[in-house]
Amino acid sequence: MDEILDMLHAGKWVSAAAADSPEISDMLTRCADACFDINNMRPSRKEERRQAFQKLLGKFGKDSVIHSPFRCDFGFNIRIGDHFVGNFNLSILDEAEVTIGDNVMIGPNCSLITITHALQEDQRQEGLMAARPIKIGNHAWIAANVVILPGVEIGEGAVIGAGSVVTKSIPPRMLAVGNPCRPIRPITDEDRICLK
């Protein structure tokens, strides 16, 4: 079991047969049950929800919140910083580590996918898969309906526009949009909203 997870964390290709151990199956089932329980808690039970996320995830920072429904594969590979807001329908396939910094906002219907499958159909039929980590820096904003693919790093303070598919890393303090997502321009003081 640990050997398979170590291989996934190292970015090595693993066959589905090797990963289909009773231990991994049990971990996936426990995580699915935990997500089900969280998703069926009333939103007003904030402290109970918070404790459930602290138990499920590798780290769940202070004053962080994730709105239901939420789904992940393992949970323990996810580390979330302080003051995080994850809107509804957040899905994290965490076969590799997912690290989310402080003061990050993720909009509704977003997916963070660390796992990939073989392109050749015979290898895909064999279940060959590999995983690469995802990292989101402090103060980043991921707008609605964004998909972040394996190995991507979102820089500190970056903004990813709605509907983007992020296939490559985005530098800090950049506005990036599109499919595939590309940096459009730096975020500057000219973007500051003046409230008078």
Set out the domains of the chain in order of their start, with CATH numbers: 2-179 (2.160.10.10)
Average pLDDT, the chain: 95
DSSP percent split of the chain into helix, strand, coil, nearest 5: 25, 30, 45
* 117 catalytic per annotation: yes
The residue type of 126 is E
Q: What is the pLDDT of residue 3?
A: 82
- From the list 67, 83, 117, 139, the catalytic residue is 117
Q: Is the pLDDT of residue 134 over 70?
A: yes
Least confident of 19-23, 45-49, 84-88, 99-103: 19-23
pLDDT tier, 16 (very low <50, low <70, confident <90, very high otherwise): confident
Question: For the whole prediction, is pTM greater than 0.85?
Answer: yes
* Long-range pairs of 164-173 with CB within 8 A, sequence gap ≥ 24: 172/137
Q: Is the pLDDT of residue 1 over 70?
A: no
Structure confidence by residue, pLDDT tens digits, 115-127: 999 999 999 988 8
Q: What is the pLDDT of residue 18?
A: 64
Instruction: Give me the DSSP letters along 81-104.
Output: -TT-EE-SSEEEE-SS-EEE-TT-
Q: What is the pLDDT of residue 4?
A: 81
Sign of CA dihedral 21, 23, 26, 30: negative
